[in-house]
Structure 1
Amino acid sequence: MAGAMGEDSAGFGGHLGMAGRSMLANARLALDDPALSDPARVHELRKAFKRWRAFLRLLAGPIGEPAEALRLDARALMRRLSGARDAQGALDAIDDLAGGSSDLSPRTLRTIRARLTALRDAAESASLTPELRADIASYLARAGDTMETWPLGGIGFAAIADGLAATYRRARQLTPDDWPDSDPAHLHELRRRVVEHRHQTELIEPLWPRVTKAWSEEAQRLRNRLGACQDLGVLVGFIAPRQPLAAWRARLMPLIAARRERHLKNAARLAGRLFAEKPKAFRQRIAALWTAREGRTAKAKK
């Protein structure tokens, strides 16, 4: 990022504009790329929209209701793509179990994966309809036009630091006191906030690559552990009586319980490190990094 970017300068706001346009471009590519299968297209769209929604959440303070309205519209669109999410989550859980245990034979794994893949592909083909694709395209065009009307150039770093600290606080408040007995819905909400925190941190990574890259990677590791727990919970639904994988319930339940326990132990350790600071201290540290960077920039210009 070229040039000085004081708290009242246009520099950081310019970076926000470039980041937002890049996110929308990635979403358009995911929607239009003819080389992508429907499962791959849905996966890429979800990734792009998660980043975009985290970006909009960060702008809710300085931009206000227009950013929040776009975020809610994006969430509604992605909910229409959620039909295949459970089957994909169960597939990921099976891969997780296979990596952590030798109790499942290759033949069993192939059979289970084949059933879940068929369910996922059918659900994704049904959910990614021409109508939904048109609605996503329309949204992306509207979002791009709307963002260009926002005074991003006037957003100082202080407002962004406030937003980062607010997301950090929401995630930190959700960390459980008792990880083993945590409600799956609570862990799911924590995971959502961690994902949001990670994507927002990525926005400032170019400013201090060595510092923020390590922080973002730590958040991703926590997200992975929490996501694995969520996937295992989804798999439990598929092995319930009269469900597609009910025949393997007795074999899978002990493996699921053991794997979940391991993920939760690691998640507790990661969360303890990631959220060790109080939100105010986190905000002060970001501000200190910014002040130090501005000082180096000003010195280099002399």
Structure 2
Amino acid sequence: MDKEQKHRLISVLEGHMFRVEDLCRSEDVSPEIKVHEIRKSFKRINALLRYFPDILKEEVQAFRHPMKDLARLLTMARETTVNLQFFETLCAENVDLALPEAEELKQQLLDENQRSLLEITKGESVFEAIRKQMQSGQHEFLDKLPDSDFSIDIAAELRLSFEKARELFTDSLEEYHPEEYHELRKKMKVLYYQFEFLHPGQVAVPGTLLENLHGITDQLGDDHDWYIFLKEIDEDKYSVSESYRQLLDATIQRYQRSNLELLNQSLTDFFRPGNNAFLKSLEDV
């Protein structure tokens, strides 16, 4: 990596960390928005940290591990928010679900969401712990990097991320398992955020590889959201009649089947062997 790219990587990481700090301090941003935006920034940071070579592994891990622990504390709050939003959308799009029982389930989802958000905001909030971790990362990690002697092969790291994701997709083709697709989504997210570093702003440009990658990760995200919702309903986390549970199962499975058909075709096209568009794009990196 040349000097200019090295400093740009540090600058981009610094920008994500400052954004997280700002979100944590902000008093006019709702907790659910904070959770969502901080988790996205964490994922970007984690993906970019993979660009650093093994000689900085100890420093990277010292910063990454506490951040990953804090991210886990946000997971439940995010999942309960998504469950609530998903169910509201589901009822709006399917009039047969708009039964009196729907209001009861919606209230249960809302209560659970409020409880999970309260858990991360009471006492010395998780947001304050995250803010301190970002400051520590700035002083103990980023500030020392400009004086470090290291180089990075961006194209090689992107090829590695691509091959890891392709291998997981190939292994998952024989039979659909939602947990495997969730692992694939995490791999594709890493690839997306790493590729975004090379092409900032292109996600909004139709037809670009970055926009394609973004669409795939969104489809994988939908698949996981539906799986989590159904899993919690089937595990009796919420009080739902058997008839309404069956109606939910049938409706969501219809969404899943339609999404999977498009998703698997998109993934097959993306990982197509021979003159692969993504790998070809790395030739001049």
Aligned letter for 2:66?
D
CA distance in 1, matches of 2:127, 2:272: 42
Equivalent position of 1:147 in the other structure? 142
After TM superposition, give the deviation of residue 278 of structure 1 in Å. 6.8
After TM superposition, give the deviation of residue 176 of structure 1 in Å. 4.3
Q: How many residues align?
A: 281
Indicate whether 1:257 and 2:250 are aligned: no
1:168–1:279: 8 Å Cα contact kept in structure 2?
Answer: no
Matches within 5 A, 1:104-119: 104-105=97-98, 110-119=103-112
Indicate whether 1:159 and 2:179 are aligned: no
2:232–2:238: 8 Å Cα contact kept in structure 1?
Answer: yes
Indicate whether 1:26 and 2:19 are aligned: yes
CA distance in 2, matches of 1:204, 1:53: 16
Q: Percent identity?
A: 20
2:172–2:180: 8 Å Cα contact kept in structure 1?
Answer: no
Aligned letter for 2:153?
A
Indicate whether 1:239 and 2:233 are aligned: yes
2:203–2:211: 8 Å Cα contact kept in structure 1?
Answer: no
Equivalent position of 1:123 in the other structure? 116
The unaligned stretches of length 5 or more in structure 2 are none
C-alpha spacing 1:55/1:180, structure 2 compared with 1 (3 Å): same
Name the TM-score, length of structure 2 as normaliser. 0.85
Indicate whether 1:214 and 2:208 are aligned: yes
Equivalent position of 1:194 in the other structure? 188
Between stretches 98-107 and 33-42, larger displacement belongs to 98-107
Equivalent position of 1:135 in the other structure? 129
Q: Deviations over 1:246-269 (max 9, x none)?
A: 223021011121111111111101
Between stretches 279-288 and 83-92, larger displacement belongs to 279-288
Give secondary structure in 1 for the equivalent of 2:238. Answer: coil
Equivalent position of 2:220 in the other structure? 226
C-alpha spacing 1:163/1:213, structure 2 compared with 1 (3 Å): farther
Aligned letter for 2:96?
D
Equivalent position of 1:296 in the other structure? none
C-alpha spacing 1:60/1:154, structure 2 compared with 1 (3 Å): closer
Give secondary structure in 2 for the equivalent of 1:103. Answer: helix
Equivalent position of 2:165 in the other structure? 171
After TM superposition, give the deviation of residue 131 of structure 1 in Å. 4.8
Aligned letter for 2:263?
A
Indicate whether 1:81 and 2:78 are aligned: no
Name the TM-score, length of structure 1 as normaliser. 0.81
Give secondary structure in 2 for the equivalent of 1:246. Answer: coil
The unaligned stretches of length 5 or more in structure 1 are 1-6, 291-302
Equivalent position of 1:91 in the other structure? 84
CA distance in 1, matches of 2:281, 2:119: 47
Q: Deviations over 1:225-244 (max 9, x none)?
A: 11111111111133226431
2:204–2:211: 8 Å Cα contact kept in structure 1?
Answer: no
1:204–1:212: 8 Å Cα contact kept in structure 2?
Answer: no
Aligned letter for 1:220?
H
Correspondent of 2:177 among 139, 159, 183: 183
C-alpha spacing 1:173/1:34, structure 2 compared with 1 (3 Å): same
CA distance in 2, matches of 1:114, 1:279: 52
Between stretches 273-282 and 16-25, larger displacement belongs to 273-282
CA distance in 2, matches of 1:56, 1:45: 16
After TM superposition, give the deviation of residue 62 of structure 1 in Å. 6.7
CA distance in 2, matches of 1:209, 1:234: 27
CA distance in 2, matches of 1:112, 1:207: 40
Q: Deviations over 1:164-203 (max 9, x none)?
A: 1111111111114565832221111001111111111111
Q: Deviations over 1:99-126 (max 9, x none)?
A: 6544322766554333312211211111
CA distance in 1, matches of 2:91, 2:269: 28
Indicate whether 1:274 and 2:270 are aligned: yes
Give secondary structure in 1 for the equivalent of 2:208. Answer: helix
C-alpha spacing 1:203/1:62, structure 2 compared with 1 (3 Å): farther
1:100–1:259: 8 Å Cα contact kept in structure 2?
Answer: no
Give secondary structure in 2 for the equivalent of 1:148. Answer: helix
Aligned letter for 1:272?
T
C-alpha spacing 1:95/1:279, structure 2 compared with 1 (3 Å): farther
RMSD: 3.1
